[in-house]
């Protein structure tokens, strides 16, 4: 019985999220599960088969979904929204007359078609007039080859949209961008761009003060209050944050003192950490912050399930700062030298394979991001958390991160 889905971002040339590839467990090669069309509803919730809808994980951005041959021919779920779903044809299909007719029918219904793992073979020629997106693996294509260059120009002349897959480094991203690719899929954003002689700026900003105070053994509300009082911008963000319905549905909070006491020590520590990470992004893509937020909430939920204490909120801070190396373009161990985190958090961030609950939580985050189903199962057993519960936490974290990003986006525009 199908139950689980994960997502991987697809970025544009500005490193903004264009859409997501959705990856399904229990399908063939992460394909859409092989269920009959009358079982698949418009939100991809088919009785107990599918546990989450497209709109709940892609937030109305295009969702690329792999389909295998039988599903295209006989079981296509036509209730999927053609405005939000791209039909991705995997490389294992057999191109024959029946298959091409089925794809023509799907295209006429308004769906866009993508061809996965394109290898420039003539066997795809008959399908090409129906294809809008072409995905090519970055690790197997030689951009310096004149023949490949010609073929790419031919595809671009046919108005095909090119997506580079398995883009693992910033250098790869730049090369494929230069070659005219439109979109990019891979983990290149999570890697730091190491800059020689770069150092951490430890100027005494309000945020650095807040992080230091919140990390002290004794939490001092008066000192926190004093920092906010002298920084109007931070106070405004705090008030916008706490009056967001996501955080507070019961009362309107109008004073700084009331806001700090209402949040309480634990939630205030989390908010300060959130301010810090948002302040670090500078020129970096917003999706790094979104991914940090997902990890933070996911680790927090896992900690609760694993009965780990919430104060200090180590699991939340672990997830939130797990992209620090990519955000600051420095190795994680160097960053940790100047951060006032506990030794447990620092060790988990620097050495993810250590035998600790924090490191285990972070490894689970990574497994979800890579849709590594076998590792997710293995780590769920190690953590003593049901696999189904982990997926519920992951979906909740994706939703929370999207809502929280919207809150901070609106703050930044003010």
Q: What tokens does 401 get?
A: 């991160």
Residues 6+ positions from 60 with CB-CB distance below 8 Å: 84
Half-sphere exposure of 9 (CA within 13 A, CB side): 20
Q: Please report the beta strands in 68-158, taking only residues with DSSP state E, as ranges in sequence order.
A: 85-89, 112-115, 133-137
Calculate mean pLDDT across residues 112-124. Answer: 94
pLDDT in tens, 46-78: 322 344 556 667 878 999 988 888 888 887 777
Task: Compute how many other C-beta atoms are within 10 angstroms of the C-beta atom of residue 1.
Answer: 9
CA distances from 238 to 183, 253, 400, 406 (A): 36, 10, 18, 14
Calculate mean pLDDT across residues 28-53. Answer: 45
Architecture of domain 5-190: Alpha-Beta Barrel (3.20)
pLDDT for position 404? 77
CB 352 within 8 A of CB 362: yes
Question: Nearest CA to 329 among 283, 290, 275, 286?
Answer: 283
3-state secondary structure of 192: coil
In whole angstroms, give the CA distance from residue 286 to residue 405.
Answer: 9
pLDDT for position 164? 97
In whole angstroms, give the CA distance from residue 215 to residue 210.
Answer: 8
Task: Compute how many other C-beta atoms are within 10 angstroms of the C-beta atom of residue 8.
Answer: 17
Calculate mean pLDDT across residues 74-93. Answer: 85
Q: How buried is 354 (Cβ within 10 angstroms: 0-12 exposed, 13-18 middle, 19+ buried)?
A: middle
Q: Domain residue spans in the chain?
A: 5-190, 206-412
CATH number of the structural domain 206-412? 1.10.3210.10
Tokens 């951009």 belong to 143
pLDDT in tens, 222-263: 899 888 888 777 777 787 777 666 665 566 666 788 888 888
Calculate mean pLDDT across residues 20-31. Answer: 72
CB 411 within 8 A of CB 236: yes
Q: What tokens does 333 get?
A: 């161990």
Q: What is the pTM of this model?
A: 0.78
In whole angstroms, give the CA distance from residue 219 to residue 277.
Answer: 20
pLDDT for position 48? 26
- Cis ω before 69 (30° cut-off from 0): no
């Amino acid at each position: 019985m199908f139950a689980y889905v994960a997502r991987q971002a697809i970025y544009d040339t500005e490193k903004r999220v264009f859409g997501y590839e959705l990856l399904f467990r229990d399908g063939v090669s992460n394909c859409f599960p092989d269920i009959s069309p009358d079982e698949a509803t418009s939100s991809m919730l088919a009785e107990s088969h599918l546990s989450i809808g497209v709109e709940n994980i892609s937030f109305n951005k295009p969702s690329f979904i792999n389909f295998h041959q039988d599903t295209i021919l006989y079981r296509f779920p036509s209730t999927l929204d053609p405005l939000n779903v791209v039909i991705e044809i995997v490389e294992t299909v057999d191109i024959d007359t029946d298959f091409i007719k089925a794809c023509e029918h799907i295209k006429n219904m308004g769906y866009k078609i993508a061809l996965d793992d394109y290898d420039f073979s003539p066997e795809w020629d008959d399908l090409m007039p129906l294809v809008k997106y072409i995905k090519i693996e970055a690790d197997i294509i030689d951009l310096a080859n004149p023949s490949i260059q010609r073929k790419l120009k031919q595809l671009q002349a046919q108005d095909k949209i090119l997506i580079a897959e398995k883009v693992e480094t910033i250098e790869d991203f730049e090369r494929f961008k230069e070659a005219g690719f439109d979109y990019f899929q891979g983990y290149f954003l999570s890697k730091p761009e190491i800059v020689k002689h770069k150092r951490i700026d430890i100027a005494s900003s309000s945020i650095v003060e807040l992080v230091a105070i919140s990390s002290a053994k004794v939490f001092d509300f008066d000192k926190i209050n004093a920092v906010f009082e002298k920084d109007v911008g931070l106070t405004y963000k705090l008030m916008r944050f706490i009056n967001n319905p996501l955080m507070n549905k019961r009362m309107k909070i109008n004073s700084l003192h009331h806001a700090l006491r209402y949040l309480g020590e634990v939630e205030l520590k989390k908010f300060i950490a959130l301010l810090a990470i948002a302040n670090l992004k500078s020129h970096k893509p917003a999706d790094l912050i979104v991914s940090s937020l997902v990890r933070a909430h996911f680790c927090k939920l896992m900690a609760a399930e694993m009965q780990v204490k919430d104060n200090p909120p180590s699991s939340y801070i672990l997830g939130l700062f797990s992209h620090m190396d990519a955000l600051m373009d420095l190795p994680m161990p160097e960053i940790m030298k100047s951060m006032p985190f506990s030794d447990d958090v620092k060790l988990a961030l620097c050495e993810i394979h250590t035998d600790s609950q924090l490191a285990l939580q972070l490894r689970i985050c990574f497994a979800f991001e890579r849709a590594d189903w076998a590792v997710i199962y293995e780590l769920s057993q190690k953590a003593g958390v049901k696999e189904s519960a982990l997926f519920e936490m992951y979906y909740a974290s994706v939703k929370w991160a999207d809502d929280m990003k919207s809150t901070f986006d609106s703050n930044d525009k003010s």
